[in-house]
């Protein structure tokens, strides 16, 4: 799909650019800064997108309802597929599994790429956190890769 490529290419370029400008000599702190910049970019895009997407949607009755909306509607719009599996402990932790995550699909399954994967996931973590934030839900969102291009996003809701 064409606009999917647009997003994929643009995403790759942004990751490369932010890394080039913020982690010159590859030390841990600078790598942390770059990740946090990408997360922040995603956060603001997520905030904007959810506002547009939920314009005609009734309010969500609880966190689960909001997370389900992300897994279906948001994911389809962004990645042309739904989240494949959603699990929750019913205490505010949600695990969203995508068996073929589009931003990883260009990478092979070698160890080197798995180590590089976090930088291709953090923008999306930010986007999920930004979307939830705009629905009034504070969260911490992390991601991990098991076997490329499958990955899991963990959302932990922060109670006030």
Interface residues with its own copies (CB under 8 A) are: 2-7, 9-10, 13-14, 17-18, 21, 37, 41, 44-45, 48-49, 52-53, 77-78
Omega into 149 within 30° of 0, i.e. cis?
A: yes
**How far, in Å, CA of 122 to CA of 51, rounded?**
21
Q: Smaller CB distance to its own copies: residue 43 or 157?
A: 43
For residue 46, give the nearest of 145, 113, 140, 132 by alpha carbon.
Answer: 132
Least distance to its own copies from the beta carbon of 157, Å? Answer: 24
Least distance to its own copies from the beta carbon of 25, Å? Answer: 17
Least distance to its own copies from the beta carbon of 26, Å? Answer: 18
Q: Smaller CB distance to its own copies: residue 56 or 62?
A: 56
């Amino acid at each position: 799909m064409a606009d999917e490529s647009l997003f994929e290419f643009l995403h790759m370029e942004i990751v490369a650019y932010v890394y080039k400008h913020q982690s010159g000599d590859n030390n841990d702190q600078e790598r942390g800064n770059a990740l946090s910049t990408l997360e922040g970019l995603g956060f603001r895009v997520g905030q904007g997108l959810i506002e547009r997407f939920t314009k005609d949607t009734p309010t969500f009755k609880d966190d689960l309802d909001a997370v389900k909306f992300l897994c279906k509607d948001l994911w389809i719009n962004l990645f042309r597929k739904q989240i494949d599996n959603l699990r929750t402990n019913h205490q505010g932790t949600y695990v969203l599994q995508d068996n073929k995550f589009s931003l990883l699909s260009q990478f092979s399954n070698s160890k080197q790429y798995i180590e590089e994967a976090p930088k291709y996931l953090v923008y999306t973590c930010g986007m999920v956190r930004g979307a939830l934030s705009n629905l009034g839900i504070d969260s911490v969102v992390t991601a991990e890769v098991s076997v490329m291009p499958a990955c899991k996003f963990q959302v932990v809701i922060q109670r006030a």
